[in-house]
Amino acid sequence: MAFIAGVDVGNNTTEVAVAEFTADRELRVLASAIVMTTGIKGTAGNAVGIVDALDEALRPLGLTYADLSAVLLNEAAPVIGDVAMETITETVITESAMIGHNPSTPGGQGLALGTTVRLEDLEAASGDEVCIAIVPGGVDFEEAARLLNRALSKGVPIAGAIVQKDDAVLIHNRLVRPMPIVDEVKEIGRVPVGMIAAIEVAGPGRSIEKLCNPYDIATVFCLNPEETRHVVPIARALMGTRSAVVIKTPRGDIQTRRIPAGRLKLIGRQRNAEVRVEEGAEAIMAQVRKVAPLVEIAAEPGTHVGGMFEHVRKVMATLTHQPVSTVRVQDILAVDTFKPQRVIGGLAGELSLGNAVGLAAMVEAHRLPMQLLAERLQEKIHVDAVVGGVEAEMAIRGALTTPGTEPPLAILDLGGGSTDASVINESGEIRSIHLAGAGDMVTLLIDTELGLEDRGIAEKIKHFPLAKVETLFHMRHEDGSVQFFHQPLHPRLFGRVVVVTDEGLLPVETREPLGKIAAVRQQAKQKVFVRNAVRALEQVAPYGNIRLLSFVVLVGGSALDFEIPRMITDALMEYGVVTGRANIRGVEGPRNAVATGLVLAYAERENGVFRTACPLGQ
Ligand code: ADP
Ligand code: MG
């Protein structure tokens, strides 16, 4: 009787299957385990994680390394993926002409139009010009309210105020007449005096309606069509804000500028193409598709993309002890996205959603380092470590242990760094492909679009549904259902959007409403996984025709996602393909496909036959 272990080292996780190969040459998988991968996939650094995973699987069986006759490693070429974001537009204000932000507590509400006047000059203002008061930070709220009231009582028409400190509500409460007040304007010194300004404050829970619409801005300021075109970036930057100020200065100029992000050169087996990153994801992916199969992708040196590609190449070169020049970027996935960005020249730290392109790149190196890994492992545990079995083939073998499957079959392995597809036909021939872009890319998109700057919380948002804590005793889930609690929730959750994780409720540090967060999450998944599923299957399907595949099985960590399988199923339904999540050995769900495939292949080699794998398992 011999025990063997199959080990699948992935970008994110290392999975193990321990099996018993009995004297009468039967194979039984006894246990499995999963740990985070240590080091970059396919390099010697993985040994630590592998040992942990083996320990975890062996312990409950009462076995030690000495009981293992072999450890089987997947023949994974090291693949590293890198994800980056290139901003391709930015809003630039050359004259101070706009304020638009979300102060937590603006005062009053409504739209007001007038000429900007300093607080101290209000009383001197002539009575017929409507004023917008500018209140600098040095004046406290009581004094500000007093001066405003005094000017009002003298008949100066004041329509609204722009305040530096966070005092709008305090001032407003003391005024004899209500007016909209925008506060927290950091650069108040740069607000031009004597210019026509429009200010708008939305009611609680709403966002402004007028100053985010170019035609309303045109109405307020009597703009001609040419001038209206120029205010489009203003309107766009103000969309969704709670309060806003637009000031018309004679030379005020606001533009959306496209930033050159660099060029990509796609070198295919048959043809080449060049595309500028700022043309956006659609244009890039159209070229990638045209040039496929790709041999290499080069980026213009000295640009942002150039930098990203250089980084990926360098990391890979160091890890595999190869010269940088031999490392090739073999696939990219580009997606259009938005990135909140400081408005250049803005007065209140305004953010505008700049267009950005997210890029995932993938580098595949030679198999050499796997041998080093096997040696390192052998030194550690004194068990034969055998590199054998191409990952994609093992994954298919493992996937075929899903009850109800048989060749021909296609699998999609939805991992962290790459999306892989393989197809097995009736005669057992297997074709496979690795594409850049998977779970990590989704997390990055969620992180940037919501401006979280916290990958950890972005990862949680990806994994779990959201809810809104409406009172301390109930919350509304994103599907609309309401959950009540007997014990009060923690007060810090009150009124917050939370992620409903397995370990409890996690508040999301953002002012975005629940609907927006959910939409960003779903779009990120669509953009990465639906596109890659179609792209991958097109490359492995007979004649590139997805319709010729009848069954597709999903494996890998991202197949556990609560939305992704459904999105892929819907997309593939168009091609008449039946899609579902794998259930490896009838017990593992979409996990452990490669590790299971490895032990099966071993048994097959030993027995000289391929036994059908279905009755395996506990
Ligand atoms: P790899 O083979 O590259 O190591 P995995 O198959 O382990 O990758 O998949 C890792 C990816 O799966 C990560 O992006 C992770 O966020 C995602 N993932 C893991 N568990 C879940 C889950 N329950 N829901 C959604 N995504 C998940
Ligand atoms: Mg994997």
* Pairing between β-strand 158-163 and β-strand 131-135 as defined by DSSP bridges: parallel
Average of per-residue pLDDT across 323-336: 85
Position 221 scores a pLDDT of 87
C-alpha of residue 11 to centroid of ligand 2, in Å: 7
- State which of 247, 269, 286 marks the end of a domain: 247
Average pLDDT over every residue of 551-567: 96
Please report, for residues 107, 123, 157, 242, 252, the alpha-carbon distance to residue 239 in angstroms, rounded to integers and kept in the order given.
19, 35, 29, 9, 20
The yes-or-no verdict on residue 187 having pLDDT over 60 is yes
Given this model, what pLDDT does residue 618 score?
Answer: 36
In this structure, is residue 489 part of a structural domain? no
The ligand whose atoms approach the alpha carbon of 362 most closely is: 1
317 is a domain residue: yes
Lowest-pLDDT range of 165-174, 343-352, 432-441: 343-352
| Paired tokens of 20 | 């018993």
Element (H, E) at 524: helix 514-525
Q: Is the pLDDT of residue 616 over 50?
A: no
Q: Residue 615: its pLDDT value, please?
A: 38
Q: What is the mean pLDDT of the chain?
A: 87
Residue-level pLDDT at 65: 95
Relative to the alpha carbon of 34, which ligand is closest?
1
Please indicate, yes or no, if residue 500 is contained in any of the structural domains: no
* Per-residue pLDDT at 76 exceeds 80: no
What residues contact 519, with CB distance under 8 A and at least 6 apart? Answer: none
Q: Which range among 171-180, 424-433, 457-466, 535-544 shows the weakest confidence by mean pLDDT? A: 424-433
Range 371-385 average pLDDT: 93
pLDDT higher at 458 or 78: 458
Which of 398 and 313 is assigned the larger pLDDT?
Answer: 398
Residue nearest to atom 8 of ligand 1 (CA): 415
Q: Is the pLDDT of residue 611 over 60?
A: no
Q: Which residues line ligand 1 (CB under 6 A)?
A: 10-13, 37, 415-417, 439-440, 459, 463, 556-558, 560-561
Q: Which residues pair with 352 in a beta bridge?
A: 341
DSSP notation for 555-572: ESGGGGSSSHHHHHHHHH
Do 395 and 442 fall within a single domain?
A: no
| Chosen domain end from 223, 247, 271 | 247
314 and 241 assigned to the same domain: no
**Is residue 469 assigned to a domain?**
no
pTM to 2 decimals?
0.79
How many Å lie between the centroid of ligand 1 and the Cα of residue 335?
20
419 within domain boundaries: yes
Same domain, 59 and 170: no
Q: Residue 56 has what pLDDT?
A: 97
- Would you state the pLDDT for residue 133? 94
Closest listed residue to residue 614, CA positions, set 588, 591, 587, 585: 585
Statement to judge: residues 6 and 114 lie in one domain: no
430 and 564 both lie in a single domain: yes
Most confident of 72-86, 249-263, 325-339, 448-462: 448-462
**What CATH number should be reported for the domain holding residue 1?**
3.30.420.40
Instruction: Give the position, in ligand 1's atom list, of the atom nearest the Cα of 34.
Output: 7
Res. 271: pLDDT tops 90: yes
Domain shared by 32 and 155, yes or no: no
Range with the lowest mean pLDDT among 149-153, 420-424, 427-431, 453-457? 427-431
Helix (H) or strand (E) holding 422: strand 418-424
How many Å apart are CA 518 and CA 115, to the nearest integer? 42
Query: Percent of the chain, pLDDT > 90?
Result: 54
Q: Which residues contact 506 (CB under 8 A, 6 or more apart)?
A: 457, 460, 498, 499
Spatial contact of 175 and 146, defined as CB atoms under 8 Å apart? no
Phi-psi domain of 53 (left: phi exceeds 0; alpha: psi -120 through 50; beta: other): alpha
**Residue 349: pLDDT over 90:** no
Residues 529 and 440 grouped into a single domain: yes
CA distance 228 to 221: 10
Examine the pLDDT at 407 and tell me if it is beyond 80.
yes
Co-location of 390 and 408 in the same domain: no
Cα gap 186→170, rounded to integer Å:
18
SS3 content of the chain, % helix, strand, coil (to 5): 35, 30, 35
For residue 535, give its domain range.
404-464+509-582
* Nearest ligand, CA 562: 1
Please indicate, yes or no, if residue 227 is contained in any of the structural domains.
Answer: yes
What pLDDT is stored for residue 251 in this prediction? 64
pLDDT greater at residue 389 or residue 60: 60
Domain containing residue 203: CATH number? 3.50.30.70
pLDDT one-digit tens code per residue, 95-131: 556 666 777 778 889 999 999 999 999 888 777 889 9
**Residue 462 CA: which ligand 1 atom is closest?**
25
**How many percent of the chain have pLDDT more than 70?**
90
Judge if 440 and 572 occupy the same domain. yes
Q: 412 CA to middle of ligand 1, Å?
A: 13
Residue nearest to atom 27 of ligand 1 (CA): 558
More reliable by pLDDT, 87 or 140 = 140
CA distances from 346 to 237, 314, 555 (A): 11, 38, 48
Q: What is the pLDDT of residue 280?
A: 87
Q: Is 494 within a domain?
A: no
Distance CA 9, CA 521 (A): 28
- From the number of C-beta atoms within 10 Å of its C-beta (0-12, 13-18, 19+), residue 403 rates as exposed
Strand order in the sheet with 263-268: 272-276, 263-268, 294-299
Angle between helices 531-540 and 564-573 (to 10 degrees): 50
Are 577 and 439 found together in one domain? yes
Residue 557 and residue 409 share a domain: yes
Ion ligand 2: residues, CB within 5 A, are 10, 415
Which carries the bigger pLDDT value, residue 537 or residue 195? 537
**Residue 315 placed within a domain:** yes
pLDDT tens column, 515-539 = 999 999 999 999 999 999 999 999 9
Contact residues for 341 (Cβ-Cβ < 8 A; gap 6+): 87, 90, 91, 351, 352, 353, 354
Q: Which listed ligand is nearest to 41 at the C-alpha?
A: 1
Please give the pLDDT value at position 609: 56
The two tokens of residue 354 are 């700049």
Q: How confident is the model at residue 255 (pLDDT cuts 50, 70, 90)?
A: low
Q: What end-to-end distance do the CA atoms of the chain give, in Å?
A: 17
Q: How far apart are CA 395 and CA 463, in angstroms?
A: 24
What's the pLDDT band for 77 if we cut at 50, 70, 90?
low
Which among 8, 12, 462 is the best mutation to test ligand 1's pocket, defined by most ligand atoms within 8 Å of the CB?
Answer: 12
Atom of ligand 1 nearest to the CA of 439: 14
**What CA–CA distance (Å, rounded) separates 310 from 327?**
10
Mean pLDDT across the stretch 380-396?
89
Q: How confident is the model at residue 617 (pLDDT cuts 50, 70, 90)?
A: very low
Q: Which of 135-149, 303-317, 469-483 has the lowest mean pLDDT?
A: 303-317
Calculate ∠ Cα 570-571-573, nearest 5°. Answer: 65
The answer, yes or no, to whether residue 547 has pLDDT greater than 70, is yes
Higher pLDDT, 110 or 86: 110
Between 255 and 412, the higher pLDDT residue: 412
Lowest mean pLDDT among 84-88, 267-271, 536-540, 576-580: 84-88
pLDDT above 70 (res 92) = no
Domain count, the chain: 4
522, 565: one domain? yes
Give the domain-ending residue among 188, 213, 247: 247
Distance 560 CA to ligand 1 centre (A): 7
- Site to probe by mutation for ligand 1, drawn from 73, 558, 591 as the one with most ligand atoms within 8 Å of Cβ, is 558
